[in-house]
Structure formats: C-alpha cells, structure tokens
Amino acid sequence: MDAHSVPVPPPGCPAHDSGGRVPLYRPEFADEPQAYYDFLRHYGPTAPVELAPGVEATLVTDYTAALNLLRDPSFRKDARQWRDLNSGKVPEDSPVVPLLAYRPNCMFADGAEHQRLRQAVTESMARIDSSRLARITERVSAYLIGQFSTRGSADLMADYARQLPLFVFNELFGCPAEIGDRVLFGISGMFDGVNAAESAEVLYGAVGELVALKRTRPGDDVTSWLMQHQAELTDEEMVHQLSLLLGAGAEPLRNLIGNTLHRILTHDRGAYPDVRNAIDDTLWQNPPIANLAPHYPVADRMYAGQHVAAGELMMVSFAAANTATARTKGQAGNRASLAWSAGPHACPSQRPATLITVTAVDNLLGQLPDIELAVPAALLTWRPGPFHRALTALPVRFSAVQAVGQPTAPPHPQHTTTQAEPAAGQRRSGNAGKWSQFLSWLRK
C-alpha cells in the first residue's frame, strides 16, 4: 500500500468534513467497518481518527506496529497523562470519557503498580475451577433458554448474550440476590448509555457493599480471593478492580457470544462443527473490542514513521490489525489474533471467557437445533461506537420447545437473600429482581 497516495474515503465516509480525521462514532462506521479500515490503511501504519466530536486519536492499524506499541514501556497507560483531556480540549462530558478517563485499577496502571494490581487479578481468576465455571454457565444458559424456548422466536442479544455473562459473573463473584440485582442494573445501564452516571453510581455502590460483605463473610468466590491476595488491596482498590472485572468482562463477553452466534448463523449449517473454530474466526475477523488499548507517549517521538507528541492519545485497532495482511488473516487453529490485545495489558481472562462462550453457544445450539436467523443477514444492524463490534439485535426463530433445563445442583450456600437484604431506600434498581428470580429458579 502506498502511504503517500491520496486516500479515498469509503462510501458515505464523512472524513473530509472532520478536519481530515476519520470519525469512528457515526452509524456509517458501524455499518461497514472493514471499508473504513481499508481506507485508514492508506495513511500507513497509523491514521488520524476522531472517537467522538472533538476527541482526536492516532489509531494503529498495522499488526506489527500494534504489537510494538503494546510491548513498548515508553508508552504509558496512565490516562492522567492524556494531553487533550488535561487541556480541556476534550469535553469532560464527552461520551468516551467514562471509558478512557483514569481510574485506580490495573487497566490504567504502569510498571510495578500494574504488576501488583494485575497479579491480584490473574491469580484470583486462575483459581476459577473450569468444571465449576462450565456448570454455572450451563445452569444460567438453561435458565435463560427456558425463558424464551416456548415462544419459538427470540432476540439472542437481549434474551441471551446480554444477560448470560452478568448472571455468570454474579455467581462467580459471590453476589447475594439484592446486590446482584443492582450489579446487573448498573452494568447494563452503563453500557446502554441510559442514565450512565446514575448506573455507575448504582454499580459502584453495590460493589462497595459486596466488598464490605466479603470482608466479614468471605466465600469461595473471586471477590474473596482478590481480597485475600497478597497484594493486600484496600477497599477502594477492591471496588475499582471488581468494577473493572465486571465491566471489562460483561460487554466484550456478550459480544463474543453474539458475534460467534452471528458467524454460525450466517454460514452454512455444518460449517462450524466445532464452536471453537467459530470463536477463532470471530476473534480474527469480528473482534468484540475493535479499537482500544489507549496509550500515551511519555515524550515527543517518532513512531512507525510518524511524529507523535507526549500525552497524545494513541489506540490500537485490533480489528484492522487482524485483517491487515494475508499473513495475519484468520486460519483455523491460528490463535495469534490481537482480539485479546498483547503485551503486559493483554486480557487476563481469555481462558474463562472462552470457556463461557463455548458453553453458552454449544448449549443454545444443542437445545434449539433448528435455530435460524429470522431476518436476512443484510438487515442486521450494529451498535455505533468507536470501541466495540456489537450487534443491536440477533432475531432468530426455532421450533418452540417446553422450557428446557432444570437445575442440576443445589443452590450455592451464599445465595440467601437474608445475607444482604438492602436497607430501606437502598433498592435503587429499576431492574430489581432478575438475579433474585434466577436464584429462586435455582432453588426450586
């Protein structure tokens, strides 16, 4: 590709009216991201983009340049170095600020502090027993399928992919009923952008209560393991680390499940006898986190032939890097995609996230074997936004069956509503009761 030739915008791309920066927040980008990535590659290994009105970033689209950035300690993750936020050029109320602004968790830490916070996460996640995780996922999956299986139709995003990770997390993190209800409400609201500030407050409040509860009554769960870790996290660190795990986990996991189901349902029946191959192809060609990994150069410097300034926001396009060259295009069994990122901040949860996805997809296809798209694939739409690759809905139809799946194990002993009954006035969730309902189903 000649980096000096004049780039030709993809159809409908309004790059020319954005000061030469390519906007990634408009619906046109969500409609045809690969056309945008092809266009961005004309700039060379990095390209000027706009993440939201007035929010500029340099996006790395080349696979090798992306790996170099992700592994180079002279680029920092600490967002307090973000020049344009500090100078006021980026409005505080920009929709991308909640995701990119600094919080005291491992995502925004560098060096020794990162190691300390991250080790607490990786070592606690490593204690998750795979068979137990598969069992939890199967039970949640059976419950959710049972909610719509008699209808003969469903929206797999709203009815399944969106809810399953949250329910599994509640169980993994040892959430009693009422706290779990507010965790579900808070995370869903933050990601849907509906009353995001209030939702975040509900989530942080609920997680704070969970931390207080586990300090006095630890259990066999990720929250308690994090707390017992030798990193000796303070309560504040616990709340931020837990909220990161829940938030950074739920959204991509929902989209990995959704995008994998999309891949299977838009290919010939039998094209993917092994769900893992469908996941691998999805990770290469339709990764749930399309563009992220914000980094800030510590000083002005040259990078991949471009001048970049200290504190300038640089991001990696996992989606563009994955499809950059024939060498990196997905091939069965090739797991070198950048969908989980790479370097010190690579996703620490690949193993559990993959297991949850395999189990969720296998179970659904096993329970509803004649499931198919209810609309032509070309009519499916994707949620706008610069960071994710996320279906708006995935409408399907199938032969209606009686509610499938019954609880196969006794309820977890922690799940008694008496343990964390909310004080009067604390029940703020408009969605109150979903987790409680699941727990009562489990106890039947």
Q: Does 386 bind ligand HEM (CB under 6 A)?
A: no
Distance of closest approach, residue 338 Cβ to ligand HEM, in angstroms = 8
Instruction: Single out the residue of 259, 245, 247 nearest to residue 390, CA to CA.
Output: 259
- Cβ-based nearer residue to ligand HEM, 15 or 264: 264
Distance of closest approach, residue 198 Cβ to ligand HEM, in angstroms = 24
Distance of closest approach, residue 397 Cβ to ligand HEM, in angstroms = 27
Q: Does 253 bind ligand HEM (CB under 6 A)?
A: yes
Quick one: three-class SS letters along the chain? CCCCCCCCCCCCCCHHHCCCCEECCCHHHHHCHHHHHHHHHCCCCEEEEEEECCEEEEEECCHHHHHHHHHCCCEECCHHHCHHHHCCCCCCCCCCHHHHCCCCCHHHCCHHHHHHHHHHHHHHHHCCCHHHHHHHHHHHHHHHHHHHCCCCEEEHHHHHHCHHHHHHHHHHCCCCHHHHHHHHHHHHHHHHCCCHHHHHHHHHHHHHHHHHHHHHCCCCCHHHHHHHCCCCCCHHHHHHHHHHHHHHHHHHHHHHHHHHHHHHHCCCCCCCCCHHHHHHHHHHHCCCECEEEEEEECCCEEECCEEECCCCCEEEEHHHHHCCCHHHCCCCCCCCCCCCCCHHHCCCCHHHHHHHHHHHHHHHHHHCCCCEECCCHHHCCECCCCCECCECCCEEECCCCCCCCCCCCCCCCCCCHHHHCCCCCCCCCCCCCHHHHHHHHHHC
Q: Does 69 bind ligand HEM (CB under 6 A)?
A: no
Q: Binders of ligand HEM among 308-327, rule CB under 6 A? A: 318
- Cβ-based nearer residue to ligand HEM, 13 or 353: 353
- Cβ-based nearer residue to ligand HEM, 138 or 198: 138
Residue in 118, 262, 263, 389 binding ligand HEM, rule: CB under 6 A: 118
Distance of closest approach, residue 387 Cβ to ligand HEM, in angstroms = 9
Q: Does 252 bind ligand HEM (CB under 6 A)?
A: yes
Distance of closest approach, residue 413 Cβ to ligand HEM, in angstroms = 23
Residue in 186, 219, 288, 422 binding ligand HEM, rule: CB under 6 A: 288
Q: Binders of ligand HEM among 154-193, rule CB under 6 A? A: none
- Cβ-based nearer residue to ligand HEM, 160 or 398: 160
- Cβ-based nearer residue to ligand HEM, 106 or 203: 106
**Residues 280, 308 contacting (CB under 8 angstroms):** no
Distance of closest approach, residue 369 Cβ to ligand HEM, in angstroms = 26
Residue in 238, 353, 391, 420 binding ligand HEM, rule: CB under 6 A: 353
Residue in 100, 140, 226, 256 binding ligand HEM, rule: CB under 6 A: 256
Residue in 245, 275, 374, 396 binding ligand HEM, rule: CB under 6 A: 245
User: How many residues sit close enough to ligand HEM to count as binding (CB under 6 A)?
Assistant: 27
Look-up: residue for tokens 């070198």? 336
Select the span of 189-197, 335-343, 365-373, 406-414 touching ligand HEM (CB under 6 A).
Answer: 335-343
Q: Does 352 bind ligand HEM (CB under 6 A)?
A: yes
Q: Does 340 bind ligand HEM (CB under 6 A)?
A: yes
- Residues lying near ligand HEM in the complex (CB under 6 A) are found at 106-107, 118, 121, 244-245, 248-249, 252-253, 256, 283, 287-289, 292-293, 318, 339-341, 345, 347-349, 352-353
